[in-house]
Chain A
Amino acid sequence: MSLHVDIRKALGSFTLDVNFDAGNGITSLLGASGCGKSMTLKCIAGIEKPDEGRIELDGRALFDSAQGINLPPQKRRVGYLFQNYALFPNMTVRQNILCGLCREPDRAEKERRLRDILRMMQLEGLEERKPAQLSGGQQQRVALARILVNDPQILLLDEPFSALDAHLRDSLKVEMRDLLENYGHEVLMVTHDRNEAYNMSREIAVMDKGRLLTVKPTKALFADPGSIPAAVLTGCKNIAAAKKIDEHHVDVPEWGVCLETKAPVREGLCAVGIRAHYFNPSAIQNRYPVHLVEEMEEPFETILHFRFASQRDDSPAVWWRLNKEKRPQTFPEELGVAAANILLLYE
């Protein structure tokens, strides 16, 4: 099972230009709103047409501008879960799911598969309801049921949890991940939420302004985002321009500090990132004098905004985030970061 995408399409202010392969399991496309990630899904599904390139699913060309191939969505066998679930409002749950069985000619078989999916998705008893009479979670299950009975060769999920309340979201994430792991086909999910991407996917592709920056296994990406947009999208709060000094040292003029790094510094370095969790008053490496600017409390954590003593005035305050219980009585005079926790960001 594999998906190969290599397409270009001019969009208003930038050009969508993506090239990636995705294997089995869940892959996330992570990017800010309007970066072209939904457009990429639409191109794969055949709802939008790329200007040029090729899309291949399990060796089958869905789109190829050179060969003049552009299969209609009906023939692509691609399951697409829309952000708003796109349930047909005039039809009952039963009729909606039967739409997913439109390729099955045998009536008895249709009925059998309908029963099966209703049981599997815990929708029994809701058959005669209209979508407007269902909760958000139920709507999502109906939409998934309708897609799964259709037996697509790949599943595309467009911000699948954004329409749900926060408390529902977490439990549904677990449910959906378990379901999709048993599903056995490639899943491509679009999201702007780093937690969602981290929870759900094996691999993450980072997108910025129409371009694909990196494709990495989830944990590797969070450990080493590699570029400024990827660092921002994975939640890195402290990013500053930096210059290479030698193999293991970088100069950060904005903060007025020189940082030691564990990973060797390559040419083309443009910035460093330090996650807000990584500062530590007892760290020995990269230790510099600091002073507190302000504090913002959250239910279980606290965020301390501080400045390095040598920091330039136009540079924004640096974030240190820690568990409330670990908050020292008096703000430390010096803070350090382990060399392994300095993220090196390249062009």
Chain B
Amino acid sequence: MSFDWYPLWNSLRIAAISCVLVFFTGIFFAYYAAKLPRTVKGVLDVILTLPMVLPPTVCGYFLLLVFGVKRPLGIFLLKFGVKFVMTWYGGVLAAAVVAFPLMYRTARGAFESFDKTLAYSGQTLGLSNTYIFWRIRMPACRQGILAGTVLAFARALGEYGATSMLIGYTPGKTATISTTVYQLWRTNDEKGAMFWVLINLAISTVVLLSVNMLEARQKKAVRA
């Protein structure tokens, strides 16, 4: 029997897809939250940050409440053949919800420290708001956004609580690295568990190292 690499592949695609989703939604909410009136912003901020402080199992519980197959939304989605419970793309949903606040908060911090006069001068020169957003605001906030993306990816890759609540553990179907580690350890396969722990360590190290290298290269480019 060949070795089962499925958890690696599944974890990577869940983390990658949820990271892309969180990248855009996080930036979208961070950008518009900064423009809202103070009170609305405060309330929205609490709601959007909650998944970060709640135990992931509680997030998973809420997800089941909304998307469970016996719940109205779950029943409705099932008509279109979409089922978030016990599917790999349910894992994307779970990871995205838990990783979202990391992207949202770091992006918001970056946007808030952005020098508004840059946007204003762009506007008076006649540049479109879209151009200003993508070519001036985003590059100026690059560090914060990059940091948020990496944090979100790392968090999505390590997601366990909400994932196990929503999609469980089915080898070859919903198994991820983190659920596999637990499963193998539970069944006394310490060697197997250790193997996946090392895989996880390797991925995380590579991600963090490449971020550091990117940052160093940027600083060099600015100085040159």
Contact = CB atoms under 8 A, between A and B. Distances in A.
B123 A73 contact: yes
Interface size class of B (residues with CB under 8 A): 10 to 19
B120 A74 contact: no
Contact of B222 (A45, A103, A130, A147): A130
B136 A74 contact: no
A179 interface: no
A41 B136 CA distance: 23
A257 B124 CA distance: 55
Contact of A88 (B123, B124, B128, B136): B136
B199 interface: no
Given A84-B117, A90-B139, A150 B222 contact: no
A74 B123 contact: yes
B115 A72 contact: no
Interface string B99-127: 00000000000000001011011111111
Interface in A235-268: none
Contacts of A90: 136, 139-140
Given A90-B140, A130-B222, A132-B222, A74 B126 contact: yes
Interface residues of A, number: 29
A76 B140 contact: no
Nearest to A101: B125
A99 interface: yes
Given A130-B222, A132-B222, A86 B120 contact: yes
Contacts of B127: 74, 99, 102
Given A90-B139, A90-B140, A146 B117 contact: no
A86 B118 contact: yes
A74 B120 CA distance: 10
A233 B12 CA distance: 66
A78 B139 contact: no
B222 A80 contact: no
Contact of B120 (A75, A82, A150): A82
Nearest to A156: B124
Nearest to A79: B124
A34 interface: no
Nearest to B138: A90
A47 interface: yes
A102 B124 contact: no
A217 interface: no
Contacts of B120: 42, 45, 47, 73, 80, 82, 86
Contacts of B117: 82-84, 86
Contacts of B128: 74
A80 B140 contact: no
Interface of B: 115, 117-118, 120-128, 131, 136, 139-140, 222
13 contacts: A42-B120, A45-B120, A47-B120, A72-B123, A73-B120, A74-B126, A80-B120, A80-B124, A82-B121, A132-B222, A146-B125, A150-B125, A152-B124
Closest 10 CB pairs of A and B: A86-B121, A73-B123, A90-B139, A86-B117, A80-B124, A82-B117, A47-B120, A73-B124, A74-B126, A150-B125
Interface of A: 42, 45-47, 72-76, 78-80, 82-84, 86, 88-90, 99-100, 102-103, 130, 132, 146-147, 150, 152
Given A74-B128, A150-B125, 20 more contacts: A42-B120, A45-B124, A73-B123, A73-B124, A76-B124, A78-B124, A79-B124, A80-B120, A82-B117, A82-B121, A86-B117, A90-B136, A90-B139, A90-B140, A99-B125, A102-B126, A102-B127, A103-B126, A147-B125, A152-B124
